[in-house]
Amino acid sequence: MYFLNIIKPKGITSFDLIRKLRKRLNIKQIGHSGTLDPLASGVMQVGVGSATKLLDYLNSDKEYIADICLGYESTTYDDEGEKIFIKKPEVSISILHNALNSFLGESMQIPPKYSAIKFNGKKLCDIARKNQDIDIASFSRKIEIYAIEILDFNNFDKVKIKVNCKKGTYIRSLAHDLGMKLGCGAYLTDLIRTKAGNFLYESANNLDDEKYNLINPLDVLMFHKYELEDDEFKKIVNGNFISPRQAINFDKILLTNNNKLVSFAVLSDNLIKPKKIFKDSCK
């Protein structure tokens, strides 16, 4: 049971990455947190073995480096779609800065029509490709952008930005919405995810590396840890509740034994109650 910090290359899907890892590691139980489009590259949080059950508990805030082209719109909001000329951009650095700052904080964002969001069991992108009508505005969702920094601007039509945001933010939609706000259109030309929670690009493995750094879940799950004594360990692995030996002010707890994660538990009615038990750590 461990996590991997893997760079998804540009040009393959997130599922392709997992399929390649299954084959290379000869392990079926592998999953990821946070899909990246084929156009995008960067950090993927990958769980192997029982760690797949913990992916939802990882810090999921994201950081991206995005390249944006002004003056056009794209049917997919990125470089893969049909481009439509809107107008020659006449944008100063101050106008660009003010426009980007208007997206800071919480807001409602309409996702791209060509996305993996499900509707009646079908992906929106598959529905869109069949030219079926979609009320895309009905899929708007609350997002939060913590910070946006302009990294480069050619004073005409090329912009590079860094975005720190909450999980679920579509950077393609941000590029499109920026174009709408500037009145000249815009679309995403390249995207790199440089951070996912505490998984960093600088410490990530490439898919073709000879060896991968195996990440202990205890090193990246940001919850209170409680070391089990022998009698407590026996009770927990059998699914029983225990009373904490000391006061605990956290509602979610990682139960450990010899630096191995035994259970993800919750504190309720002053009892520690196991929610997920990891048998492979109990041998």
Active site residue 79: no
Catalytic hit among 37, 133, 219, 231: 37
Helices 93-101 and 171-182, packing angle to 10 deg = 130
Active site residues: 37
